[in-house]
Amino acid sequence: MAEVIDRAATVPDVELAHVRYPSNGYDVPAFLARPLGSGPSPGVIVGQEAFGLTDHIEDVAANLAREGYVALAPDYYARTGGPTPREDVPAIMAAVDRIDNPTVAGDFLNAVAYLVDRGLAAPERVGTIGFCTGGTYSMLLAIEKPDLACAVLFYVSQLTYPELNERKPYHPIDRAGDIRCPTLVIYGDEDPVGTPERLARLEDNLKKGSVPYEFKLYAGANHAFLNPDAWLYHEEAARQAWPDALRYLARYLKG
């Protein structure tokens, strides 16, 4: 059963709800935002930041619904516990390290199936948008689902890992050549995660996939610059980047 969010009344023509969907023997909690009305809509899987399934991520989903998309944001912390207080960066990184990437990639794949099987999203018009660590899992979705329509990746935080193990069996940056959908990569030009070396390596691997891709760097912006609740919020960059992301989604999900 869906738990409908009361504040839906403040977002005209949009239904907001906490839901659960099945994935590998587990019911994954997620936030669903969809336009009211009948028939499937273009779908977007939303990858939350390392801070968790926060009001900011729910607002992103709600804003996508206002644009005509059905948006589903899985809680990738649900299986392992979290999130931690955003002030405790080492604890956040430890929580992220506990996540099993193949399992969460499966959860994102099953998020697509949830939307399609219920007739909420058109199967050929499902994309993803992810932020920070959620950008990592949106990227893994694009890697593991060749028929995804498009991916918008905001400041992916874990292109590489200190070491590979069962939980992190490959560096996402090394599998970027397996992405078969149009991809928009977004960073602030002061983000220490998106170094010139990493972005060049990412671009080299994306080229191997022979699919359209774009890189956008926003002047003066650091990590998590779109989140108005984060200390690195950059208003000017956010006002540019969000419309850019919407135009990209519309090109491949509505066009």
Q: Name the residue with tokens 């990746």.
A: 153
Q: Work out the mean pLDDT of the chain and round it to a whole number.
A: 92
Q: Residue 71: enclosing H or E segment and its boundaries?
A: strand 70-74
Mean pLDDT of 186-209: 96
Q: Residue 84: its pLDDT value, please? A: 63
Q: Which of 56, 75, 150, 191 is catalytic?
A: 191
Query: Rounded to two decimals, what is the model's pTM?
Result: 0.95
- Residues 74, 28: contact at Cβ < 8 Å? yes
Mean pLDDT of 34-51: 92
For residue 117, what are the contacts with CB-CB under 8 A and spacing of at least 6? Answer: none
The 8-class DSSP code of residue 76 comes to T
pLDDT over 90, % of the chain: 84
With bands split at pLDDT 50, 70 and 90, how would you rate the model's confidence at 4? very low
Q: Residue 81: its pLDDT value, please? A: 82
Q: Residue 12: its pLDDT value, please? A: 73
Task: Give the residue from 44, 47, 51, 56 showing the smallest Cα distance to 89.
Answer: 51
Q: Which of 75, 150, 181, 223 is catalytic?
A: 223
Least confident window among 19-23, 81-85, 212-216: 81-85
Mean pLDDT of 71-79: 96
Mean pLDDT of 16-20: 95
Mean pLDDT of 187-194: 96
Clarify whether 191 is annotated catalytic.
yes
**Domains present along the chain, CATH in parentheses:** 3-253 (3.40.50.1820)
Residue type, 222: N
Clarify whether 18 is annotated catalytic.
no
Mean pLDDT of 68-77: 97
Q: Residue 86: its pLDDT value, please? A: 65
Query: Could you give the maximum distance between any two Cα atoms of the chain, in Å?
Result: 47
Q: Which of 56, 75, 132, 234 is catalytic?
A: 132
The whole-angstrom separation of Cα 236 and Cα 188 is 11
Mean pLDDT of 133-138: 97
Q: Residue 90: its pLDDT value, please? A: 84
Clarify whether 13 is annotated catalytic.
no
Mean pLDDT of 23-37: 94
Given a cut of 90, whether residue 82 has pLDDT beyond it is: no
With bands split at pLDDT 50, 70 and 90, how would you rate the model's confidence at 1? very low
pLDDT in tens, 137-164: 999 999 999 999 999 999 999 999 999 9
Cβ-count burial of 152 within 10 angstroms (0-12 exposed, 13-18 middle, 19+ buried)? buried
Given a cut of 70, whether residue 51 has pLDDT beyond it is: yes
